Amino acid sequence: HVAGVDHERLTDQLRFVLEVDKLKRILRRNTLVDGSRRENDAEHSWHVALAARVFAEYAPKGTDIDRVVEMLLLHDIVEIDAGDTFVYDTELAQTQFKRESEAADRLYALLPKDQAEHARGLWEEFEARTTPEARFAKAIDRLAPMLANWHNEGGTWVTHRVSAAQVREKVAMVAEGSATLGAYATALINDAVGRGYLAP
Amino acid sequence: HVAGVDHERLTDQLRFVLEVDKLKRILRRNTLVDGSRRENDAEHSWHVALAARVFAEYAPKGTDIDRVVEMLLLHDIVEIDAGDTFVYDTELAQTQFKRESEAADRLYALLPKDQAEHARGLWEEFEARTTPEARFAKAIDRLAPMLANWHNEGGTWVTHRVSAAQVREKVAMVAEGSATLGAYATALINDAVGRGYLAP
Ligand SMILES: [Ca+2]
């Protein structure tokens, strides 16, 4: 017991912090930049949150980067229940929204009500891409695996026979969030096609 | 080439983002909350950045939580070169500052100058604990492995025969950053002693 503290509130917060530890065991399709093993969602979330800060100057003027970082720290938590959905898996994508909504219902609700609503709101904003913050967060989230794949001679693009057209759809999402990073991603993909990493 | 962009600056930023990927391969002594494997520095950094937000209300009034989060995202990057120093390893602790300073010289300097100075400044502030932000960041950083160890029947406390007195030194750092979290950590450690997880 801690004096002067809403004990139930603190216990809920602690339970949430302990529960989201499971994100460290959710594996993504892409590998680390050195190709040594698959990346997990927690370390990915750290990497994109940091990258959002480093690339902040390429967000549209007025974008609140603190909000972008907060969104990126929270954006994958639903995958604790829903699992990772490979961005090029069209079959799984059909059930993704339902699976992730149910996961959000359980996971964010572990927090005290005010914090739960705030966190879930940020996640929904991220998924809907209705604000500059959400579009920039999504741009960074899409750019990161492109960098890793490019540095791994194609990485999961090669393993899963991804085509240039499929990646260009994701590049469009990068461009929606940041003109500069979108142009960079386009140049990267053109180079990857030239190197034979992607089916043309 | 991307039109209208300082190409050298963007390249430096990309190089930094790719280089810090190595933090995912630096293992800490403590395990995940489920005890299944050792935790790496990148997923740890994500976890504490998120926890800082969840526990924000327990920071002293006026603490800038966005700055705390930024500090926590950056705080372990020096360990890419310097390695993890177990907080109870007194021998390694003697060379820690020198090793980490040299690491900071190399790693933060990969960024463009303005960003390099900003990042290094935040890391130095974190280590010196001269601001409420640094003290709160350090409190969260120290609290996290206590929670994991407590949930693992003592975890690394048992493996490395850590005493209650040693952990109480770290609890003091939690209390310096947050009175509430310090009181919670004290209660947790008393409980751990009662359960025999720590030598009294
Ligand atoms: Ca450390």
Look at residue A148 and tell me if it is in a domain: yes
Span from the CA of A67 to the centroid of ligand 1 (angstroms): 26
Look at residue B186 and tell me if it is in a domain: yes
Cα–Cα dist A35/A145, whole Å? 12
CATH code for position B21: 1.10.3210.10
Tokens of A108: 């964010």
At B1, the pLDDT band (50, 70, 90 cuts) reads: low
How far is residue A168 from each of residues A26, A175, B109, B135, measured CA to CA in Å?
A: 26, 10, 33, 45
3-class secondary-structure state, position A129:
coil
Amino acid B60: pLDDT? 97
Look at residue A183 and tell me if it is in a domain: yes
At A97, the pLDDT band (50, 70, 90 cuts) reads: confident
Cα–Cα dist B10/A69, whole Å? 20
Task: Return the residue of A nearest to B191 by Cα.
Answer: A1
Chain A contact set for B69 (CB, 8 A): 66, 69-70, 73
Q: Using an 8 Å Cβ cutoff, are A10 and B184 in contact?
A: yes
Chain A contact set for B147 (CB, 8 A): 14, 17-18
Q: Using an 8 Å Cβ cutoff, are B156 and B145 in contact?
A: yes
Cα–Cα dist B46/A116, whole Å? 19
Instruction: Name the nearest CA neighbour of A98 among A87, A110, A83.
Output: A83
Percent of chain A exceeding pLDDT 90 equals: 83
For chain B, give the number of residues: 200
On the question of pLDDT at B200 being above 90, the answer is: no
On the question of pLDDT at A89 being above 90, the answer is: no
Tokens of B153: 């029947």
Chain B contact set for A1 (CB, 8 A): 187
Look at residue B199 and tell me if it is in a domain: no
Phi and psi torsions of A171, nearest 5°: -60, -35
At B89, the pLDDT band (50, 70, 90 cuts) reads: confident
For residue A100, the one-letter residue type is E
Phi and psi torsions of B165, nearest 5°: -60, -40
How far is residue A73 from each of residues A29, A36, A46, measured CA to CA in Å?
A: 19, 24, 7
Amino acid A42: pLDDT? 98
Look at residue B152 and tell me if it is in a domain: yes
Amino acid B167: pLDDT? 94
Amino acid B86: pLDDT? 80
On the question of pLDDT at A1 being above 70, the answer is: no
Predicted-assembly ipTM surpassing the 0.90 threshold: yes
On the question of pLDDT at B87 being above 90, the answer is: no
Cα–Cα dist B74/B115, whole Å? 12
At B125, the pLDDT band (50, 70, 90 cuts) reads: very high
Question: Per DSSP, which regions of A18-69 are E strands?
Answer: 27-31, 38-40
More confident residue, B199 or B39: B39
A61-81, pLDDT tens digit by residue? 999 999 999 999 999 999 999
Cα–Cα dist A102/B172, whole Å? 40
Cα–Cα dist B82/B102, whole Å? 8
Look at residue A115 and tell me if it is in a domain: yes
Cα–Cα dist A185/B12, whole Å? 16
A16-62, pLDDT tens digit by residue? 999 999 999 999 989 999 999 999 999 999 999 999 999 999 999 99
Find the angle CA(B121)-CA(B85)-CA(B22) to the nearest 5 degrees: 70
A151-167, pLDDT tens digit by residue? 889 998 998 899 999 99
How far is residue A35 from each of residues A150, A170, B154, measured CA to CA in Å?
A: 11, 21, 34
Cα–Cα dist A95/B191, whole Å? 44
Mean pLDDT over each residue of chain B, to the nearest integer: 94
Domain enclosing residue B73, as ranges: 7-194
- CA atoms B84, B88, B94, B97: torsion sign: positive
Specify the DSSP class assigned to residue A163: B
- Asked if B187's CB is within 8 angstroms of A115's CB, the reply is no
Phi and psi torsions of B88, nearest 5°: -105, 10
Average pLDDT over residues B74-83: 95
Amino acid B108: pLDDT? 96
- Closest in B20, B47, B50 to A50, CB measured: B20
Q: How many domains does chain A have?
A: 1
Look at residue A174 and tell me if it is in a domain: yes
Span from the CA of B61 to the centroid of ligand 1 (angstroms): 26
Cα–Cα dist B81/B77, whole Å? 8
Amino acid B199: pLDDT? 83
3-class secondary-structure state, position A77:
coil
- Closest in B18, B34, B53 to A70, CB measured: B53
Cα–Cα dist B26/B41, whole Å? 6
Q: Beta partners for A38?
A: A31
Look at residue A199 and tell me if it is in a domain: no
B133-178, pLDDT tens digit by residue? 999 999 999 999 999 999 888 998 998 899 999 999 999 999 999 9
